[in-house]
Amino acid sequence: MKNEIQNLKVQTRRKKINQKKTDWNWIIRITILACMISFAFSFVSEFTIPNVHIIIGVLLVIVFILFGVLFDIIGVAVTAADEKPFHSMNARKVKGADLAVKMKKNADKVASFCNDVIGDICGVVSGSAGAMIALSISNMLSVDKFFITLLMTSIIAALTIGGKAIGKNYAINNGNLILFRFAKILSHFYKIKK
């Protein structure tokens, strides 16, 4: 037992030596980007939901939930994927393989963007949009706001958490395929500078 603990301590020290330094430029950029994306999503939510029919508002909330789940799947897939097959595909000039390699090499940043920025923003926006829908329903039906808001936020939380739980399992088991498909789609809009 002491030898195993000692080995873990040695491995931890080696990892600390090999760790990258904190990239403050990335942290500042991702914080600003998160603020801008959050503003845009919130603007869409705040501008459209009070002005549309309740059913369209509910559909918009479902879109935000699905968007958050999708990006959570991508973030997990990038961390779970294996880099080797993409090097092989890149050598054969398969479209998107070079971007998949770059994303895998920057898995921490890609996962942070997908899971934390997009995923969390979608969670917050869908929650606030759900609260607006709950208020509209309570006014329309003359029902207590407390119960409707509680019910709406519970349903949104359940759908988000359940969707992400299913998505994580799928992403871990299919990381390479998900990363390749996402990289292939992105390669139509983003070219790697060589």
23-37 residue pLDDT tens: 788 889 889 988 998
- Dig out the tokens for 120 from the structure: 């969390």
Compute CA 183 distance to the chain's CA centroid, rounded to the nearest angstrom: 15
The Cα angle at residue 82 between residues 81 and 87, in degrees rounded to 5: 125
| pLDDT tens-digit readout, 121-178 | 998 889 888 888 888 888 888 888 888 989 999 999 999 999 999 999 999 999 999 9
- Dig out the tokens for 133 from the structure: 């829908």
Report which secondary-structure segment, H or E, holds 21: none
Decide if 49 contacts 129 (C-beta within 8 A). Answer: yes
What are the residues whose beta carbons fall under 8 Å from the beta carbon of 56, sequence distance 6 or more? 48
Task: Specify the residue for token string 């998505």.
Answer: 167
Percent of the chain predicted with pLDDT > 70: 88
Q: Running DSSP on this structure, what letter comes out for residue 115?
A: I
Task: Specify the residue for token string 């929650």.
Answer: 127
User: Does residue 5 register a pLDDT over 90?
Assistant: no
- Dig out the tokens for 15 from the structure: 């990892």
- Dig out the tokens for 47 from the structure: 């501008």
Decide if 176 contacts 78 (C-beta within 8 A). Answer: no
Q: How many CB atoms lie within 10 A of CB 120?
A: 15
- Dig out the tokens for 17 from the structure: 């030596």
pLDDT grade, residue 189 (50/70/90)?
Answer: confident
